[in-house]
Amino acid sequence: MTSSLLTITNDWFYDLTRFTERPYGDKQKDLPNVYENLIYNPSEGIITSRVTGRKLKYGSFETLNVNEINNRVGFNTPKWRLYGDCKVSTVVADVTDLHMDPANAGRVFQVASQFNALEMVGPKVKPSDGITRYSSDHTQGPACAMACGAGTLYRNYYLQTDDTQLNMADEMLDKFPAPRYQRGYTYENGYLFLQGDMISNLLWHQRGIQYPFNKIRVGVQRNTQVTLLGCEHNVTQVYCSALPLAYHEQKSYFAELPLHTAGQYVLESAYKSTLGVAIENNQQHDIPEVYLTLLGGGAFGNRIDHIMQAITDALKPMLKGNGLDIKIVCYTTDIQQMVDTFLEKLVLPKYLNL
């Protein structure tokens, strides 16, 4: 066990690197700069603290959409049928504890994020505001991001800047623009706000054969180090965003309906991609377990029935032949009972392990 491993504290960045984070937008002279105190080695997927010499493995990162991952895993081909039926269950757990468990080495975790694969508490927060602040946001996404601190360092400081932020929805937005030469959306620090004409256009195409929501990407951080106390293993994290429905301004119930429908399709795409990454992980490493989260709930305002419908719509084509052990993580037993009730209604009983 090395001294570089940490538990999550209010200054988890300092605990990880042994220097205080001064993001690159900060002009203070008395604190060392992040880039001056880290050594970035992309060929090995490692970031090293100059202060301590600790090597932190961030692994590799790529973005994938539903179609790309389906092609990789051979969806509905003989390759797909090499494994048994999948199992679906719920578990009440703290996601930090799950990351710390060495039994979960190599397994896939779905992580709630924004469309820049970061954890912004609001649309005005930029990458240059740093990642120390994650400790004040007690939700699933920041907990996962802090559990694998090296990957978060990479995504915030080496993958993007304030002016060159990742937008995992941009392919969908470019290929299916709003009609009448309108922009149709606003994108701000990972938050995507769709406008009425854009929503209508996306839903119209979704009813055809083009499936625009399948163009949305997820961020896959593979073989990334769990940097929590006592941990010496790596996992794969899949960063997914929901639509921030609670942040949209809708003037009537009827205006909300298309937005919530679009939100459900965004969720379904995220679950499909996450399950696809898990299938690939199982094919390559014989590790069938994947942990899903209730994406888009809480502050983002996606309804639980829409979240569960998105999960089951993503699951149904994948229940046979991929051999996954799918665990839906619930924070409380009350939420678990609610999720179990939805699963019993929406998923064939033989696949459930409740």
Per the CB < 8 A criterion, the answer to whether 147 and 96 are in contact is: yes
pLDDT tens readout for residues 249-287: 654 444 578 899 999 999 999 999 999 999 999 999 999
Q: HSE (CB half, 13 Å, CA atoms) of 116?
A: 29
Q: Length of the chain, please?
A: 354
- Report the SS3 class of residue 209: coil
Q: pLDDT at position 25, please?
A: 60
Tokens for 19, please give them.
């220097």
Q: pLDDT at position 202, please?
A: 92
* Rounded-to-integer distance, Cα 70 and Cα 279, Å: 9
Buried b (16+ CB within 10 A) or exposed e, 206-218: beeeebbbbbbbb
Per the CB < 8 A criterion, the answer to whether 81 and 208 are in contact is: no
Per the CB < 8 A criterion, the answer to whether 278 and 295 are in contact is: no
In order along its 354 residues, the chain shows pLDDT tens digits of 333 345 567 789 999 999 999 766 665 555 568 999 999 999 999 999 999 999 999 999 999 999 999 999 988 676 666 678 899 999 999 999 999 999 999 999 999 999 999 999 999 999 999 999 999 999 999 999 999 999 999 999 999 999 999 999 999 998 888 776 567 899 999 999 998 888 988 999 998 778 999 999 999 999 999 998 889 899 999 999 999 999 886 544 445 788 999 999 999 999 999 999 999 999 999 999 999 999 999 889 999 999 999 999 999 888 877 899 999 999 999 999 999 999 998 877 778 887
How, if at all, do strands 108-113 and 289-292 pair? parallel
295 secondary structure, DSSP code: T
Tokens for 95, please give them.
């996601």
* Rounded-to-integer distance, Cα 350 and Cα 347, Å: 9
Instruction: Domain ranges for the chain, please list them.
Output: 59-351
Distances, alpha carbon 206 to alpha carbons 193, 261, 295, 343, in Å: 18, 11, 21, 25
- Report the SS3 class of residue 297: coil
* DSSP strands (E only) in 103-167: 108-113
Q: What is the pTM for the complete model shown?
A: 0.93
Residues in Cβ contact with 5 at an 8 Å cutoff, skipping those fewer than 6 apart? 227, 228, 229, 230, 231, 232
Q: pLDDT at position 112, please?
A: 98
* Rounded-to-integer distance, Cα 281 and Cα 57, Å: 19
Class of 59-351 per CATH?
alpha beta
